[in-house]
């Protein structure tokens, strides 16, 4: 068996703070990714494919370089964990496919609002599958954060026949992303963040490539600008976004992590206002403040030190 090291009290306090910072950084990167999808030369599913496919070689190389050496009973190569990562990749393929189409068929605000309802499905899935319970304070924080996010996007959120299909896809993507977060949380018990992301990205790419070809989308960028966009999407949204999420999920509960990621709509709204001239008013500012207050309340209602209380010696450097 691999040696385990119990962290010191100082490490127990510092690690959740670092993980929360990683989540906020990852949410910011994913918000930037939503803008990149809108300006991409290729189709929505093709954008999702290139996002994960271009990240796979670098992730695989990094995972091989950082692979634990000479550790007896190393658990990082178990087939079960790889299968869980592949399952996470399948969930993520569904999330990206539906979300990227929602970004095209509805507004960035609608798509981001609906896909970020995933905390509801994470809480439900965590209880149904893993029998995980949450505190009343956490639930209050979840309601406040979701309510704040709704207020944040109220001015730009429109329900009409032209947006219904895109809105529905945004909601479906939230279900898939909930499954993705729960799967990544499970895989991170033994896999490093890089290894988890490498295997899950591979699973996602294997699903999205045939889906892109079947849908008949334009899937090859035609200009240098087009390639720079999908490369940026891969580096920023996948490695910088989901990579930070994978790191954080080793140290934080999945339910709390999903609530913290509601920071993403606030960033997306600011970027959409700045770059695409989508409106942001005083009500949305209040909504952003309520979202942050809900994240804080959810943090108060979560036992952050209970997750990742021990660190494997072979995986201590992530």
CA dihedral 106, 298, 26, 276 (to 10 degrees): 30
Mean per-residue pLDDT over the chain, rounded:
81
pLDDT at 177 (0 to 100): 93
pLDDT band at 1 (very low <50, low <70, confident <90, very high): very low
The structural domains of the chain, with segments of one domain joined by +, span: 16-66+77-308
- Residue whose C-alpha is closest to residue 125's, from 188, 178, 185, 200: 178
Taking residues 25-35, what's their average pLDDT? Answer: 87
Print the SS3 string covering 247-302. Answer: HHCCCCCHHHHHHHCCHHHHHHHHHHHHHHCCCCCHHHHHHHHHHHHHHHHHHHCC
CA angle 142, 148, 151 (to 5 degrees): 145
Task: Give tens-digit pLDDT for 223-282.
Answer: 999 999 999 999 999 999 999 999 999 888 888 888 888 887 777 777 767 776 666 667
The span from the CA of 99 to the CA of 137, in Å, is 30
Collapsing DSSP to helix, strand or coil, 32 comes out as helix
Task: Give tens-digit pLDDT for 75-132.
Answer: 445 677 788 999 999 999 999 889 888 877 887 767 777 888 888 899 888 888 877 7
pLDDT band at 4 (very low <50, low <70, confident <90, very high): very low
Collapsing DSSP to helix, strand or coil, 63 comes out as helix
pTM over 0.85: no
The span from the CA of 98 to the CA of 296, in Å, is 30
**Residue whose tokens read 């964990």:** 81
- All residues at 6 or more sequence positions from 250 whose CB lies less than 8 Å from its CB, including other chains: 19, 188, 189, 193, 307, 308, 318
pLDDT at 49 over 60: yes
pLDDT at 147 (0 to 100): 86
pLDDT band at 73 (very low <50, low <70, confident <90, very high): very low
What is the torsional sign of CA 197, 203, 209, 211?
negative
pLDDT at 155 (0 to 100): 56
What is the torsional sign of CA 15, 19, 24, 26?
positive
pLDDT at 35 (0 to 100): 82
């Amino acid at each position: 068996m691999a040696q385990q090291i119990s962290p010191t009290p100082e490490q127990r306090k510092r690690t959740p703070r670092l993980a929360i910072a990683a989540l906020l950084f990852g949410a910011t990167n994913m918000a930037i990714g939503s803008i990149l999808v809108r300006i991409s030369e290729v189709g929505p599913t093709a954008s999702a494919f290139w996002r994960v496919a271009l990240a796979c070689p670098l992730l695989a190389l990094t995972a091989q370089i950082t692979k634990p050496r000479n550790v007896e009973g190393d658990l990082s190569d178990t087939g079960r964990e790889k299968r869980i990562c592949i399952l996470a990749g399948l969930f993520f393929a569904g999330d990206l496919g539906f979300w990227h189409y929602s970004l095209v068929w509805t507004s960035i605000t609608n798509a981001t609002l609906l896909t970020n309802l995933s905390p509801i499905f994470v809480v439900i899935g965590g209880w149904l599958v893993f029998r995980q319970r949450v505190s009343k304070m956490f639930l209050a924080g979840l309601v406040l954060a979701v309510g704040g996010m709704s207020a944040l996007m109220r001015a730009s959120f429109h329900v009409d026949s032209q947006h219904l299909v895109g809105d529905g896809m945004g909601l479906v993507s939230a279900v898939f992303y909930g499954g993705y977060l729960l799967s990544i949380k499970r895989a991170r018990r033994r896999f490093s963040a890089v290894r988890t992301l490498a295997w899950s990205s591979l699973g996602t790419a294997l699903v999205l490539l045939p889906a892109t070809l079947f849908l008949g989308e334009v899937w090859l960028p035609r200009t240098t600008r087009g390639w720079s966009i999908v490369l940026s999407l891969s580096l920023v949204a996948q490695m910088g976004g989901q990579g930070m999420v994978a790191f954080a999920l080793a140290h934080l509960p999945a339910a709390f992590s999903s609530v913290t990621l509601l920071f993403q709509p606030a960033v997306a709204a600011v970027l959409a206002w700045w770059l695409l001239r989508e409106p942001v008013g005083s009500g949305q500012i209040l909504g952003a403040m309520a979202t942050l207050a809900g994240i804080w309340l959810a943090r108060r209602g979560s036992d952050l030190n209970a997750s990742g209380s021990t660190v494997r010696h072979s995986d201590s450097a992530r």
